[in-house]
């Protein structure tokens, strides 16, 4: 079994499921279309918008692959696999009056690789056989990670 939190300590939010947070405090926290490639690919990210904006008119979160637009009100929590779904948010309708800031919580994939490798960097001089074992173990972790998600069944 792949243990996701073994060895990770978040000193700002002890006990948090996330290893890191980003606080976006510009007047209009805005992101272009992107996917967070350095996050754990089957991991979850949490978006918390806050400020004074009309969530019915603007600042929506757009998820490309599922073709969904989501209204997030200030203080809502939204969880998504940010390393596997392209996402962005729509600008504020009235940026002269409204403010939208956000806090994002996430975990970098490199932290999990570091733990899997015995709390050290991967050796650079692996044999062909060792690389094959790593690939097979990676495939198993990939399947274990995706099995954590709910399905329609």
Q: Which residue has the higher pLDDT, 150 or 136?
A: 136
Instruction: Enter the tokens of residue 99.
Output: 């403010």
Integer Cα distance of 98 and 54 in angstroms: 8
CATH number at residue 46: 3.60.130.30
Query: Which structural domain range is residue 93 located in?
Result: 1-153
For the stretch 129-148, pLDDT in tens is 988 998 898 889 888 888 88
pLDDT above 60: residue 94: yes
pLDDT above 80: residue 59: yes
Number of independent structural domains in the chain = 1
For the stretch 1-53, pLDDT in tens is 334 444 555 566 777 888 888 999 988 888 999 999 999 888 899 999 999 99
C-beta separation of 145 from 109 below 8 A? no
Structure pTM?
0.78
């Amino acid at each position: 079994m792949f243990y996701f939190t073994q060895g990770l300590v978040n000193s700002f939010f002890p006990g948090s499921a996330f290893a890191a947070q980003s606080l976006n405090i510009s007047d209009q926290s805005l992101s272009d279309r992107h996917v967070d490639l350095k996050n754990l690919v089957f991991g979850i990210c949490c978006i918390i918008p806050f400020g004074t904006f009309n969530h019915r008119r603007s600042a929506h979160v757009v998820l490309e692959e599922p073709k969904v637009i989501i209204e997030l009100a200030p203080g809502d929590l939204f969880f998504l696999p940010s390393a596997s779904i392209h996402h962005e948010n729509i600008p504020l309708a009235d940026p002269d009056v409204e403010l939208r800031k956000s806090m994002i919580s996430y975990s970098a994939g490199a932290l999990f690789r570091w733990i899997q490798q015995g709390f050290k960097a991967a050796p650079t001089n692996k044999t062909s056989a060792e690389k094959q074992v790593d690939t097979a173990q990676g495939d198993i972790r990939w399947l274990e990670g995706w099995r954590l998600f709910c399905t329609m069944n």
